[in-house]
């Protein structure tokens, strides 16, 4: 297993380099002018100067290699310096800078990460906690009232987009009832129980909107997987051993059914870091999704390039993690 | 087993007029119709019949292993050691299953849970029924594996089912079934999925275990050769009914039911001439959608008479503990009054 993991990690390096290059090409080809958002009074030759100062005068391969140097060498060195307090070399090196804010992209990401992780990460946790029992019961009592309702809600979760459920929740809980705030306040700090409660309330709606969609997906998956396993011969063996029905389902069937579901959950985690672009917009959560939208609108190529690449890394990593988990959960699978 | 020890004792398992149906979308399926039989301690009862004859369903309904719904036991009496099984609470029934009655199923490849070690799966019934500690259960599990002839038993407890061959897995299944010293072992086609040499090993093993442990065994199979080799008594099932039943030598020497006779003719003979073709029984097994008002075998029977189409023959005694559900008399070739 260790060998396999190391081999996969080594394979990931060329894959990720190829991905970063493709992202760079696509962004370079896309229309958009980093000076487009500047006041119209700035004359064209000044604009040209600004472009040159951003490095746009260099040929394409040079720009790509410079980004590689900044991202793969300078940023990690900088991180090491920050953590350890050492100074490596002169300590002066060019980081990946956002064109529109002139601040290092990695700092922006670190600044936005907590909001995204809180809201989107919590929605994943909530979704798993709700979806697994629903899937188990729906399968065990197939075609019962519970299963029918579960199926109906799942269909809603699948088919109604988050911008619609989000607005409905705002209309009901913020506008009509006035129970929950419709705007997420990033500056809010949790210091005591009161402020914690405020945090819970402002997280409630974005979390539920995202959790609905994820719950729908995972519970259907869980149900199908349980149904596959409930009719297996080993379940009959477990019953013939005189085990309680509870043990039969919760130990024998569930353990087998969780194998594909765990991989689906693992593959969904990169999406958590990617943030929920639409939901973050609706509730004004300034997370990573919103940062990406801002970057795209401002033609802030270094920002978009870096963010997209970080997502790509996460996706590759979690694919590997899902495979390794599969091998751990299913003793029949050996990667050696 | 010596005959004397067995003849006197009370049956450990007794079934009277058991009727099991399945309620499906296309109507009821009468899978088991008025089946009665008894097994005495230490006895090996062979149950023979083709696919869909109700062999397995009968045994599964005894211990509540059928999914209900769609299955339903409509009537009948099941007695284990004098106790009424149908009146038992779910907890009592669980104690019976895996405790007093062990099961071995057909396909050892799928009957073990792939994600748990073999040790865990043997330990489970020991913990549930005998309340052994983890340590004691592991020791007992290793003993059981050794008993069923798995070498290096203690080490193999840590292995997963996929690390065993088919025959070895069936040995594991037998070890699980025997874990709590059952008085009855129900083996549902335990050798069907195995190749012939392994089959012989498993049969030898079961024979051996019966000598050692003295439990009653119900051996379901469609292989007459196997039954001839190990059973004390044989029960032939067709269309959810018992069509013939008797001591093994008697039944093979004087088969009464046309179905049994046809089954015996389908067995290829080693000393047969090369150009002799394999015999088969013409026609299809009956559709069990309706309660049989006629003999279920009538459509395929070479000796069918008017009466066979009008009523379903009851089992009648033909002597020497042998009975048959048929109107036809092989001795005279004519009609014989039932009862």
> In the predicted model, is pLDDT for residue B291 greater than 80?
no
Q: How many CA atoms lie within 13 A of A314 on its CB side?
A: 16
- Helix residue spans in chain A (DSSP H): 2-29, 44-53, 60-68, 75-84, 105-116, 122-140, 145-159, 162-169, 193-230, 233-240, 245-247, 254-274, 277-282, 288-297, 301-329
Task: Please report the pLDDT score of residue A253 as a whole number.
Answer: 92
Q: What is the arithmetic mean of pLDDT over B214-221?
A: 88
Residue in A closest to B158 by C-alpha: A331
Q: Does A238 touch chain B (CB under 8 A)?
A: yes
Distance CA A3, CA B310 (A): 73
Q: Phi and psi of B295, rounded to 5°?
A: -65, 125
Task: Please report the pLDDT score of residue B257 as a whole number.
Answer: 86
Residues 6+ away with beta carbon under 8 Å from B211: B1
Task: Please report the pLDDT score of residue B339 as a whole number.
Answer: 41
Coil/strand/helix, residue B282: coil
Q: Is the N-terminal amide bond of A219 cis, ω within 30° of 0?
A: no
What Å distances lie between residue B247 and B8, B185, B318, B330, CA to CA?
16, 19, 12, 18
Among candidates B95, B105, B114 on the partner chain, residue whose Cβ is nearest the Cβ of A242 = B95
User: Any idea of the CA torsion for B42, B45, B51, B53, to the nearest 10 degrees?
Assistant: -120
Distance CA B48, CA B42 (A): 19
Residue in B closest to A232 by C-alpha: B110
Task: Please report the pLDDT score of residue B273 as a whole number.
Answer: 60
Which residues, in sequence order, are bridge partners of residue B73?
B20
Q: Does A15 touch chain B (CB under 8 A)?
A: no
Q: What is the pTM of this model?
A: 0.80
Contact B279, B261 (CB under 8 A): no
CB contact under 8 A, B114 and A259: no
Q: What is the arithmetic mean of pLDDT over A314-331?
A: 88
Complete edge-to-edge strand list for the sheet that includes strand B241-247 = B101-104, B184-188, B216-221, B44-48, B233-238, B241-247, B323-324, B316-317
Cα dihedral sign for B89, B92, B98, B104? negative
Q: For the segment A246-285, what is each residue's pLDDT rounded down to a tens digit?
A: 888 888 999 999 998 998 888 888 877 665 778 888 888 8
Residues 6+ away with beta carbon under 8 Å from B269: B276
Confidence bin at A21 (pLDDT 50/70/90): very high
Q: Phi and psi of A93, rounded to 5°?
A: -150, 155
Cα dihedral sign for B199, B201, B207, B210? negative
- Mean pLDDT over each residue of chain A, to the nearest integer: 86
Among candidates B112, B116, B128 on the partner chain, residue whose Cβ is nearest the Cβ of A243 = B128
Q: Which two tokens stand for residue B257?
A: 């039911």
> In the predicted model, is pLDDT for residue B272 greater than 70?
no
User: ipTM exceeding 0.90?
Assistant: no
- Residue (of A92, A66, A98, A64) closest to A78 by Cα position: A92
| Residues of chain B found within 8 Å of residue A259, distances taken between Cβ atoms | 115
Contact B120, B112 (CB under 8 A): no
CA A294 to chain centre: 17
Task: Please report the pLDDT score of residue B270 as a whole number.
Answer: 65
CB contact under 8 A, A331 and B114: yes
Mutate to test the interface with A, among B57, B64, B113 (most CBs of A within 10 A): B113
């Amino acid at each position: 297993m260790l060998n396999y993991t190391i081999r996969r990690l080594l394979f990931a390096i060329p894959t990720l380099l190829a991905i970063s290059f493709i992202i760079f090409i696509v962004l370079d080809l896309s229309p958009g002018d980093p000076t487009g958002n500047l006041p119209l009074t700035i004359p064209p030759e000044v604009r040209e100067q600004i472009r040159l100062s951003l490095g746009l005068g260099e040929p394409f391969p040079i720009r790509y290699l410079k980004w590689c140097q900044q991202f793969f060498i300078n940023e990690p060195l900088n991180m090491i310096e920050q953590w350890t307090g050492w100074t490596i070399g002169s300590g002066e090196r060019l980081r990946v800078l956002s064109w529109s804010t002139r601040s290092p992209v990695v700092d922006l990401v670190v600044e936005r990460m907590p909001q995204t992780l809180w809201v989107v990460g919590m929605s994943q946790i909530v979704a798993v906690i709700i979806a697994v029992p629903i899937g188990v019961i729906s399968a065990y009592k197939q075609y019962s009232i519970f299963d029918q309702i579960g199926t109906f809600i799942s269909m809603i979760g699948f088919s109604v987009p988050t911008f619609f459920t989000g607005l409905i929740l705002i209309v009901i809980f913020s506008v009509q009832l006035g129970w929950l705030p419709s705007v997420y306040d990033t500056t809010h700090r949790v210091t005591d129980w009161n402020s914690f409660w405020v945090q819970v309330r402002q997280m409630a709606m974005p979390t539920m909107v995202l959790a609905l969609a994820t719950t729908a997906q995972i519970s259907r998956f869980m149900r199908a997987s349980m149904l596959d396993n409930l009719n297996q011969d080993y379940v009959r063996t477990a019953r013939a051993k005189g085990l309680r029905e509870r043990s039969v389902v919760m130990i024998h069937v569930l353990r087998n059914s969780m194998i594909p579901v765990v991989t689906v959950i693992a593959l969904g985690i990169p999406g958590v870091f990617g943030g929920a672009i639409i939901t973050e917009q609706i509730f004004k959560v300034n997370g990573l999704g919103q940062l990406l939208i801002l970057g795209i609108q401002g033609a802030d190529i270094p920002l978009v390039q870096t963010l997209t690449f970080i997502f790509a890394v996460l996706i590759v990593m979690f694919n590997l993690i899902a495979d390794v988990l599969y091998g751990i959960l299913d003793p029949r699978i050996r990667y050696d | 087993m010596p005959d004397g020890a067995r003849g006197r004792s009370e049956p450990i398992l007794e079934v009277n007029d058991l009727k099991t149906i399945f309620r499906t979308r296309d109507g009821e399926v009468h899978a088991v119709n008025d089946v009665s039989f008894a097994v005495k301690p230490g006895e090996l009862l062979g149950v023979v019949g083709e696919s869909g004859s109700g062999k397995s369903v009968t045994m599964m309904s005894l211990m509540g292993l059928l999914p209900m719904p769609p299955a339903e036991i409509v009537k009948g009496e099941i007695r284990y050691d004098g106790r009424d099984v149908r009146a038992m609470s779910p907890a009592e029934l669980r104690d019976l299953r895996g405790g007093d009655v062990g099961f071995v199923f057909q396909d050892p490849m799928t009957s073990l849970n792939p994600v748990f070690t073999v040790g865990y799966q043997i330990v489970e019934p020991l913990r549930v029924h005998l309340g052994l500690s983890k340590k004691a259960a592991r020791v007992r599990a290793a003993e059981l594996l050794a008993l069923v002839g798995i070498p290096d038993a203690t080490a193999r407890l840590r292995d997963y089912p996929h690390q065993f061959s088919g025959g070895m897995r069936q040995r594991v299944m037998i070890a699980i079934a025997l874990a709590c010293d059952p008085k009855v072992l129900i083996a549902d086609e335990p050798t069907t999925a195995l190749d012939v040499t392994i089959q012989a090993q498993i049969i030898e093993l079961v024979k051996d275990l019966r000598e050692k442990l003295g439990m009653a065994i119900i051996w379901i199979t469609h292989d007459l050769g196997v039954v001839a080799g190990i059973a004390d008594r044989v029960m032939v099932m067709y269309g959810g009914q018992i069509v013939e039943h008797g001591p093994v030598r008697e039944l093979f020497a004087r088969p009464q039911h046309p179905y049994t006779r046809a089954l015996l003719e389908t067995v290829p003979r080693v000393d047969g001439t090369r150009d002799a073709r394999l015999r088969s029984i013409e026609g299809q097994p009956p559709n069990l959608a309706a309660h049989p008002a006629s003999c279920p075998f009538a459509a395929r029977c070479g000796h069918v008479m008017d009466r066979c189409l009008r009523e379903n023959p009851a089992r009648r005694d033909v002597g020497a503990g042998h009975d048959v559900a048929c109107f036809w008399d092989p001795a005279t070739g004519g009609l014989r009054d039932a009862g």
